[in-house]
Amino acid sequence: DPRRSFIVQAPAGSGKTELLIRRFLRLLGGVQHPEQILAITFTRKAAGEMKARILEALQNAQEGTPPGPDHERDTWALAQKALDRDRHRGWRLLENPARLKVQTIDSFCAGLTRHLPILSRMGGPLSLLENPRPLFWQAASRILARAEADDPIGEAVRTILRHLDNDKSSFLTRIVQLLEKRDQWLIPFFEQFRVPEEARGPLEQTFARLIESILQEADPLIPDELRSPLVSSAAWAGTQLKETQSDHDLVCLKDLERFPEPRIAHLALWKGIARLLLTQTGDYRKPRGINKKLGFPTGPADSPPQTRKQEFLELLETLTPKEELRRILHKIQSLPEPRLSDEEWIVLKATLCLLPEVEQVLRAVFTEQVQTDFTEIALAALNALGTEDEPTDLLLYLDHQIQHILVDEYQDTSYKQRDLLKRLTSGWQPGDGRTLFLVGDPMQSIYRFRDAEVGLFLKTQREGIHEVSLTPLSLTTNFRSQSKIVDWVNTCFQDLFPRQGNEDLGAISYSASRAFRPPNSGDGVVLHPVPHNGNLAETGLQEAREIICLIRTLQEVHPDSSIALLV
């Protein structure tokens, strides 16, 4: 339906690219100008492939012979209607393919900054760096040099250095890490607190919300039938330790009568349970570790201490296969307190004071070197558009020009790229015929290094973008792999993903696929373990020899097939 907006979860092999092409062709059949459709991808290769396949579909439709397969026939029919529109409007797309606006998010943002170089704060053209870390180190060094200054920035630098035991290398590393993630802190949350002291309460509330979301993720993983035995064992251990080690971490469990609710008020109890079940390294405790130091002293057969110990050992044996529970309990072990200590707040306040200066220094380095990075391009694009209340002429022009936006690989979207979409759609109204079409697979997010936040996919599914309500859809059929491979992947990855999605934590649950292709002969997936004898070099050579043997065997059996070696 070209009048509605959608967000589509499309796993690998589910026909995502074909879906985008069909949507583009369907929209071409109804717009006044092809430039009214904007398709955004994340790589030049993907943009090139999408554009080439749109043109190929139009070319095939022009030749007039419908294809045989049903799915190709559907695409052909949509291309026919697009060509009818092309002839009626005089677009001549096959002769003028540049009128098809299919481009990467970075090239789109760069184009916006070129329209308004002063307002975007980019000035003249800057070359785009794939690896801007050397410039981040330059900026960090300049910030460190301010330690001698008698001003608020100098005081902030000195405060952080004292916290780091005057480790200048550690200071530089942390500033670089901040710059790499500046897309995440150059947001309204921080901009609204001109005086950092005002941020303490909201920050603590945010910490509490994040902690509770982790507890809520763990709560359903503990089976109901194990809760009462776990409470009993925890209370016993806490009581025993109260008598021998009153400052032990598990003493907080001594009065436990029922399983704690997943609320911040019960954080200490959750951490106590996690430490009861897991070692410091996050593994389930082994039987030999269940002793008096954990609150389970050994006693005569059938004595209360021995009975309690045996009950806990049986409980541990039941829990040990639950890997997802182990992972989340290990995370709970190291959760901080939601309320900041005065010392922590002093350091954090100094950091908040430093953030605006860090950004300004980096921008100066970019200007001097005539270079920039992806994040700066995205920030500049937002500046070029203005705000919803004070839009620039460029935003008003784009609001009139763009009627439909398609976004590929939406799971790799960052906060600022999401804000860009919000800005572009700020003038859209329900029922005005303008649409968003977002496609992605949060299970495949790969751009965390570029500030991609997979939790935004879940948030967008729930909230939409600005005033644009999005209908969630899911593709479940895998057209690429034979059924034995699909079944193996479903079985293997089902337990590696959390059971429930959590947008605050960027946690995505696994969505199983259904195979379209029948099984081939033989096994879909075969494991070839290589024993490790303690010598990495020797093991690597043995692995290489076995791979070579496998390749030669496959070439003999399937001489015309291609072989992919993934390293």
pLDDT in tens, 81-98: 999 999 999 999 999 999
Instruction: Write 272-277 long-range contacts (CB < 8 A, 24+).
Output: 272/234, 272/238, 273/230, 273/234, 273/329, 274/329, 274/330, 274/332, 274/333, 275/249, 275/250, 275/333, 276/233, 276/234, 276/237, 276/250, 277/316, 277/319, 277/329
Span 512-540, mean pLDDT? 85
Residue written as token pair 């050994």:
298
Average pLDDT of the residues of the chain: 88
Angle at 428 between CA 425 and CA 430, to 5 degrees: 130
Q: Can you list the pairs that 115-118 forms with residues at least 24 positions away whose Cβ atoms lie under 8 Å?
A: 115/384, 115/394, 116/384, 116/392, 116/394
Task: Give whole-number Cα distances, 326 to 118, 323, 354, 457, 500, in Å.
Answer: 53, 5, 38, 26, 15
pLDDT tens figures, 206-229: 889 999 999 998 999 999 999 999
Cβ neighbours, 10 Å, residue 201: 9
Q: Which residues are bridge partners to 407 per DSSP?
A: 40, 438
Average pLDDT rounded to a whole number, residues 69-81: 87
Cα 476 to the center of its chain, rounded Å: 21
Give the pLDDT confidence score for residue 196 in this predicted structure: 67
**Buried/exposed code over 262-277 (b: 16+ C-beta within 10 A; e: otherwise):** bebebbebbbbbbbbb
Query: What's residue 48's pLDDT?
Result: 93
Residues 401-432 have pLDDT tens digits of: 999 999 998 888 887 888 899 999 998 988 89
List, in sequence order, every residue forming a beta bridge with 478; answer none if it has no partner.
515
User: Which has more pLDDT, 136 or 480?
Assistant: 136
Q: What is the mean pLDDT of residues 547-563?
A: 92
- Measure the CA dihedral 102/106/107/113, to 10°: 130
Whether 446 shows a pLDDT value over 50: the answer reads: no
Instruction: Tell me which of 116 and 250 has the higher pLDDT.
Output: 250
Residue 198 pLDDT class (50, 70, 90 cuts): confident
- Give me 367's structure tokens: 């200007």
| Spatial CB neighbours of 563, under 8 Å, sequence gap ≥ 6 | 551, 554, 555
Place of tokens 């993907």: 46
Are 295 and 236 spatial neighbours (Cβ–Cβ below 8 Å)? yes
pLDDT of residue 503: 64
Distances (CA, A) of 286 to 54, 311, 315: 59, 14, 12
Q: What is the pTM of this model?
A: 0.74
Q: What is the DSSP letter of 2?
A: T
- pLDDT given at position 450: 44
Segment 326-337, tens digit of pLDDT? 999 999 999 998
User: What three-state secondary structure class fits 305?
Assistant: helix
Smallest CA-to-CA distance from 284 within 334, 323, 338, 239 is with 323
Tokens (6 digits) for 120: 């975007």
pLDDT in tens, 154-196: 999 999 999 999 999 999 999 999 999 888 787 665 566 555 6
Neighbours of 152 (CB within 10 A): 12
pLDDT at 120 over 60: no
In order of 194, 362, 467, 542, the CA distances from 188 in angstroms are 11, 20, 19, 55
- Tell me what percent of the residues of the chain surpass a pLDDT of 90: 52
User: Do 410 and 43 contact (CB within 8 A), yes or no?
Assistant: no
Q: What is the pLDDT of residue 406?
A: 96
Angstrom distance (rounded) from CA 426 to CA 293: 61
What is the signed CA dihedral for 279, 283, 285, 289, rounded to 10 degrees?
Answer: -50
Q: Which domains does the chain have, with CATH numbers?
A: 6-109+373-475 (3.40.50.300), 133-180+341-372 (no CATH), 210-333 (no CATH), 482-521 (no CATH), 528-567 (no CATH)
Identify the burial level of 553 via C-beta atoms within 10 angstroms of its C-beta, where 0-12 means exposed, 13-18 middle and 19 or more buried: exposed
| Cross-strand pairs, 38 | 101, 405
Burial grade of 533 (CB within 10 A; 0-12, 13-18, 19 or more): exposed
CB-based contact 94:57 (threshold 8 Å): no
